[in-house]
Amino acid sequence: MLILLHPGHRRPTAFVADEEIKAKEPLYGAVPDLSALKADMRDIRERLAKIETRLYHLPTKDFVMTAAIVIIGLIGAIITLQQQIQGWIGIIPHR
């Protein structure tokens, strides 16, 4: 049995069985254990902290773009100056 108190009154207004409350309120008894919820939130905070520290070690967008442009420039220069480079190395005779 559950005693319901009307807000503002000190005396009970009705005696209601738990089965009646379960039938009327679909969420009765569905409230999760708060200690489990706190543990889950603590776990999520720890995971986020680990992710943040890993993100600090990643290169920035500026670094990646600069490196990509430099590499593309070097490859373009090597392709353009291919015959001269091969002549300097001695693979083909320099003309």
Cα separation, 21 vs 1, in Å, equals: 10
Residue type, 76: G
Structure tokens at 24: 């009327």
Write the burial class of residue 56 (CB in 10 Å: 0-12 exposed, 13-18 middle, 19+ buried).
exposed
Phi, psi of 16 (to 5 degrees): -125, 135
The per-residue pLDDT for range 58-80, each reduced to its tens digit, is: 889 999 999 999 999 999 999 99
For the chain, residues with pLDDT lower than 50 are 1
pLDDT of residue 86: 86
Structure tokens at 77: 């220069």
Looking at the whole model, is its pTM more than 0.85? no
